[in-house]
Homo-oligomer: A and B are copies of this chain.
Amino acid sequence: MNGAQGHATAASPTLGVTICGVDFKNPVIAASGTFGYGEDMIDFFDPGLLGGIATKGISLKPKAGNPTPRIWETASGMLNAIGLNNVGLDVFLEKKLPFLRSLSDTACIVNFYGHTVEEYAELAGRLGEVEGVDFLEMNISCPNVKEGGIVFGTDPKLMATVVSAAKKRCRVPLIVKLSPNVTDIALMAKTAVDAGADALSLVNTFTGMAVDIRRRRPILANGVGGLSGPAIKPLALRMTHAVCQAVAVPVIGMGGIMNARDALEFMLVGATAVQVGTASFVNPTAMPDMLTEMGALLAEQGVDNLCDWIGTLQTP
């Protein structure tokens, strides 16, 4: 109970964590693209309860996104092909950021993406200098329009280029959000860190597809989409573990986290914090519920301070 209120009593474990010198009152962060710009779910709970909020991915210009259908349910998960629909940098700064800034005790993580190295660099520069932005989170699961559409986050060289370009311009800690659609996630993690990433988050969605046998067409208007939700949890957990073994920077884990137990699993394998996405669609109070449970679960394990839990997985 106390966890969710943010008032730790003597008995309830401390949930605070620190990432790149920024204190989070708890490790639960709303995942990009699943919490709008922080205001839409205010009917359900006070977003100021969260450790942090990652915004919908921001681009230089507003983006209308893909035609519908944009989402489809799958076994224990969902596919989405929203197409990075967002209000664009200017509207974000003017209309959306003020609310996030008002949540003084909740880290503001601005997720962003570009179509070229230059766009990433410009966004990193402009977003990073704004009052109230605590972190930038770089979504590199996007195609490079200048290089035949190769996804930045799936090619080590391209990734190094774009991360170091963004890092040069970025005045706040830079989180690089890894794509799971790669052969060797640990290599990608090391590449990102070598190029300047201050922290990593993972996983973004796995590329998937659904088809309609009646119409003999893909169901999503975009053809393919990204899979999220509990279906991917075992894969995301394995990747988070591999990345935590490979790099020394803080790691934010995600992928199918539905409850406190899942969140603790990601932190057990080494994540300093977690993001929660799809769970909020099914249960809009998933995040505050998780905070409540997390304290109780940790106490059950005899852990007073979440920091004593992180990365304590024993491997044989």
**Among B74, B224, B237, contact of A209 (Cβ-Cβ < 8 Å):** B237
A177 to chain B, nearest CB (A): 17
Is A223 among interface residues, defined by CB-CB distance under 8 A? yes
Is A227 among interface residues, defined by CB-CB distance under 8 A? yes
A74 to B256, CA, bound (A): 11
For A233, the chain B residues whose CB sits under 8 A away are 74-75
For A280, the chain B residues whose CB sits under 8 A away are none
A78 to chain B, nearest CB (A): 9
Is A306 among interface residues, defined by CB-CB distance under 8 A? no
- Can you name the residue of chain B whose Cβ is closest to the Cβ of A227? B234
- Can you name the residue of chain B whose Cβ is closest to the Cβ of A240? B209
Contact segment of A117-125, A136-144, A167-175, A212-220: A212-220
The proximity string for A residues 251-273 relative to B, scoring 1 for CB distances below 8 Å and 0 otherwise, is 00000100001001100110000
Is A193 among interface residues, defined by CB-CB distance under 8 A? no
- Can you name the residue of chain B whose Cβ is closest to the Cβ of A224? B238
Is A314 among interface residues, defined by CB-CB distance under 8 A? yes
24 contacts between A and B (CB under 8 A): A75-B229, A75-B231, A75-B256, A77-B234, A181-B183, A207-B235, A208-B235, A208-B238, A209-B234, A209-B237, A210-B234, A211-B268, A211-B269, A213-B261, A213-B268, A216-B268, A216-B313, A216-B314, A217-B315, A218-B315, A221-B316, A223-B315, A224-B238, A231-B231
List the interface of chain A (C-beta within 8 A of B). 74-77, 79, 154, 181-184, 206-211, 213-218, 221, 223-225, 227, 229-235, 237-238, 241, 256, 261, 264-265, 268-269, 297, 301, 312-316
| This protein's copies in its complex | 2
Q: Is the interface of A mostly helix, strand, loop or mixed?
A: mixed
Residue of A227, A229, A261 with most chain B CB atoms under a 10 A cut-off: A227
A311 to chain B, nearest CB (A): 10
A296 to chain B, nearest CB (A): 13
